[in-house]
Chains A and B, each alone.
Chain A
Amino acid sequence: MIDSVTFSLILALVVAASLISLKVGISVAIIEILVGIAIGNAIGINPGDHDWLLFLAGLGSVVLTFLAGAEIDPEAMRKTWKVSVTIGMLSFLVPFLGCWWFSYLVLGWTWGASLLTGVALSTTSVAVVYVVLLETGLSKTATGKVILSSCFITDLGTAIALSVLFTGPNPLFFVVIAAIGLLAWLLPKYLDQVLRKLRGRTGEPSVKIVLLLVIALGALAEQAGIHAILPAYVLGLIMASLLSRNKDLLMKLRTLALAFLTPFFFIVAGMNVSAASLISGGVLILVLFFLKIGTKFIGVLPASLKLVRKDSVYLTLLMSTGLTFGTISAQFGYANGLIDREQFSIIVMVVILTAIIPTIIAQRFFEPREAGDA
């Protein structure tokens, strides 16, 4: 049963986080996590005691992942896929292997916790990189398209790893793959016509159809032991062209997600963080932070140097950022007992720092001076 007092309190926090975000000009997701940490530790709300809260948070992460996938430019991906896959996989694999081995061999964390750490710290924030490409005038160029497509591949690597590494053999796995394949074939052909017929109808049937697809595919995946973010992300990629032609529908989905669903995900992530663990694990947080940045540099800088030369350090720093997929991975690990609360707190704080610090360093010290293609 929904506890109306807790629900109201969290809605109040959602509103407060939005207002703070407007005031400081920082993404609302970060503010929501920080507000969650503050309130969760101050009054001791345990999200685990409220099934409805965990459900909303889980739904928020799945819909957010779908929307992130839907932002891809399929045409650019088609044209640049060879280079993008190479750069994107390097950007995923090097930090993943580095952080996994470090936490297993040096920190002595369990096999599952180490793998999870590798996955959570392998991510790249597509949105942050997009802003850089826009600023440098690269967003419409071939170079910019390669870079952005590479970021989508990195996140796809994270989604695949999160779904495949922590699941045992299950015959339903192939059913999910077949369902995704079938949707990839059917949706571009038929859904466009259906959505066109339903456009502007009261009751928003178009929104409901898209939500049904995302949630039903996620439910099927969970039956197969696969994290729902993989099908959600792939479904987003499949529907990207279609949604870009249905801007009104996309806007409604974003409004629903950002106003009501994703705040629960980020606030719950914050509430699960233990302030005491952040203090005792301060050194480890810094070590993992530098490890992620260092391994991203090893994985991305050579390709970055070849592609953009002058702005390569700037770009590599921004490809080291990551928030959404890192937080989703940590939350998945905690919910499934792969990591304990202390490890969760440390990983989430590293994820937050990697979202903030590389951007600040990039802008203050490596701000490019000239626009143009390399």
Chain B
Amino acid sequence: MTDNSVLVKRILVAVDGSESSSKAVGMAATISRDLRAELAIVHVVEMDEFPTLIAEAQDESKEEMGEIILADAIKLARLSGIEPKPKLLMGHAAGQILRFAEEYSPQMIFLGSHGRSPERKLFMGGVSEAVSRKAKVTVVIVR
């Protein structure tokens, strides 16, 4: 009989400030603690699609909001006794999460089920769908 068990050393959770992503942080932090795995929390500051000026893409208020979302997620993870590694990224959410995952090499990725508005999904697709389709590791979508 072959051993298919996976040693979970690193877990990645992507947050967007939604209720489901907070649940994802709670769940990922608990599992990290139980498995003694490292936890990274990422938030992607999404820019407007098809900007006309570089300045439009560099919206500082979105960056500030991103810092707040990340800080809240860190507090939440600390409640489980975990000290997470935070990372603020910019760009298209799914692509940036996947890029970070390539670099960080987690064994699991956690995401909330509700991220983008339906209108934005219509144009650019859903983040959790794209990540679960393209990631090379287990993806847990938390409702």
Chain B stretch 48-97: residues in CB contact (< 8 A) with chain A: 48-57, 90-92, 94-96
Interface size class of A (residues with CB under 8 A): 35 or more
Give 22 CB contacts A-B under 8 Å.
A23-B119, A24-B117, A24-B119, A24-B122, A25-B46, A25-B48, A25-B119, A25-B124, A30-B50, A64-B52, A71-B55, A125-B51, A125-B52, A127-B52, A130-B54, A131-B47, A134-B90, A136-B99, A321-B50, A363-B124, A370-B102, A370-B103
Is A371's beta carbon under 8 Å from chain B?
yes
Give the chain B neighbours of A23 by CB distance below 8 A. 117, 119
Beta-carbon contact of B55 and A26 below 8 Å: no
Q: Are A369 and B55 in contact (CB under 8 A)?
A: no
Q: Are B57 and A130 in contact (CB under 8 A)?
A: yes
Question: B53 near A67 (CB under 8 angstroms)?
Answer: yes
Known: A25-B124, A324-B52. A127 touches B102 (CB 8 A): no
Given known A23-B117, A360-B124, contact A369–B50 (CB-CB < 8 A): no
The answer, among A27, A64, A134, A367, for a CB contact under 8 Å with B49, is: A27
Q: Does B27 contact A (CB under 8 A)?
A: no
Given contacts A24-B117, A254-B55, A367-B94, 19 further A-B contacts (CB under 8 A): A25-B46, A25-B48, A25-B120, A25-B124, A27-B49, A27-B51, A28-B48, A28-B56, A30-B50, A64-B53, A68-B52, A127-B56, A134-B91, A135-B90, A254-B53, A324-B52, A360-B123, A370-B99, A371-B103
- Chain B residues numbered 110-143 whose CB sits less than 8 Å from any CB in chain A: 116-117, 119-120, 122-125, 134
Indicate whether B31 reaches chain A with its CB closer than 8 angstroms: no
Give residues of chain A (127-170) contacting chain B, Cβ–Cβ below 8 Å: 127-128, 130-131, 134-136
Residues of the B chain whose Cβ atoms lie less than 8 Å from the Cβ of A128: 50-51
Candidate in A71, A127, A323 with the most chain B CB atoms within 10 angstroms: A127
Q: Is the CB of A27 within 8 A of B56?
A: yes
CB distance from A261 to the nearest CB of B (A): 12
Instruction: Tell me what chain B mostly uses at the interface: helix, strand, loop, or mixed.
Output: helix
**Given known contacts A363-B92, A369-B102, A370-B99, is B55 in contact with A323 (CB within 8 Å)?**
no
Is residue A172 within 8 Å, beta carbon to beta carbon, of the partner chain? Answer: no
Chain B, Cβ-Cβ closest to A23: B119
Q: A136 to B75, alpha carbons, bound, how many Å?
A: 29
Q: Chain A 16-30 against B: per-residue CB contact (8 Å), 1 yes, 0 no?
A: 000001011111111
Top 4 closest pairs, chain A to chain B, by CB = A135-B91, A127-B51, A24-B119, A27-B50
Residue from B46, B99, B117 having most chain A Cβ neighbours under 10 A? B99
For A356-374 the 0/1 string (1 means CB < 8 A from B) is 1001100110011111000
B134 to chain A, nearest CB (A): 8
